Amino acid sequence: MSGILFMLPNRIAERDLTETIPEGTLAHARACRYFLAENAKSARAYLKALEHPVPIAELTIVEIGHEPDPARFAEWIAPIVNGQNGCIVSESGCPGVADPGAGLVAYATERGINIKPLVGPCSILLTLMASGMNGQRFRFLGYLPIDDAERLDAIRRLEAASREPETQLFIETPYRNNRLLSALAEHLAPETRITVATDVTGNDECIRTKTAAQWRQTEPDLPKLPTVFAVLASGKSARKAVAKKPQVASPVKHGPTRRPNKSRSR
């Protein structure tokens, strides 16, 4: 019988593990001896920090890198097919979310391996929670294009999409944070809200939400730290929509979030 493939989140910031990683997640990591790591060095540091009961040198830590090679999936998954449990662990945050791992999971799933996702920090999700923007409908876009014309086009398209209302989230390489924020402040409608979440869960965590017009009033001063951006245009009464979760199952154009659900589904 196959083992289980755990999706093991890593801390985002170099702070105490227990701040953002649940004990349940740490317990699963401690019970594993086979790790598929985005980065072997950071995985070792993480396993040491969580006080893995087995000496680190005796664990199997395979570095799969930032672009795991599909030609090696069979070899990497073999121990799990043969009954051992394994973990995919990213360098930071949740594996498979804006991080490698998804291709390996798809491969493992096709071979009948059960996947068990574990709880941990995700800067995209935390930014959404703190944004006050629509959490009934949202989208993560990864990186915007670098080329000015293409970036401008992407900014206009994401603002239009946000009027659903659908929160638009994206990231940027830290040294380009200020350039991106300037472009957003300049090109988005004055009343469109922009959330800038820097160093989420870290010592310098700073999450600010202002309208484009407000951001325009000051020169961007973002540090060169990992940052998630969120955008929501006002429009189809976005404020009302985010505050509301209607009880009547009326068919509406864009369908979602219009259903009563007294469930534990979220």
131 to 160, contacts with a copy of itself by CB under 8 A? 131-147, 150-151, 154
| Smallest distance from a copy of itself to CB 45, Å | 13
Residue 105 interacts with a copy of itself (CB under 8 A)? yes
183-242 binders of a copy of itself (CB under 8 A): 193, 200-202, 205, 207, 209, 226-228, 239-240, 242
In this complex, which beta carbon is closest to a copy of itself, that of residue 34 or of residue 229?
A: 229
- The smaller minimum CB distance to a copy of itself, of residues 139 and 236, is found at 139
**Sole binder of a copy of itself in the list 3, 21, 181, 194 (CB under 8 A):** 21
> Dihedral angle at the C-alpha atoms of 92, 158, 165, 140, nearest 10 degrees?
-20
Selected range binding a copy of itself among 10-18, 55-63, 77-85, 180-188, rule: CB under 8 A: 10-18
CB of 219 to a copy of itself, least distance (A): 21
> Of 57 and 217, which has the nearer Cβ to a copy of itself?
217
Joined together, the tokens standing for residue 190 give 């004055």
Q: Which is nearer to a copy of itself, 23 or 58 (CB)?
A: 23
Count of residues near a copy of itself by CB under 8 A? 109
- Of 57 and 187, nearer to a copy of itself (C-beta) is 187
Our CB check for a copy of itself shows the closer of 21 and 47 to be: 21
Point out which residues pair with 193 in neighbouring strands: 211, 232
Interface of this chain with a copy of itself, residues 33 to 62, rule: CB under 8 A:
none
CB of 33 vs a copy of itself, minimal distance in Å:
21
Kindly state the smallest distance separating residue 94's Cβ from a copy of itself, in Å: 6
Site stretch for a copy of itself (CB under 8 A), options 45-53, 78-86, 167-175, 184-192: 167-175
CA atoms within 13 A on the CB side of 71: 0
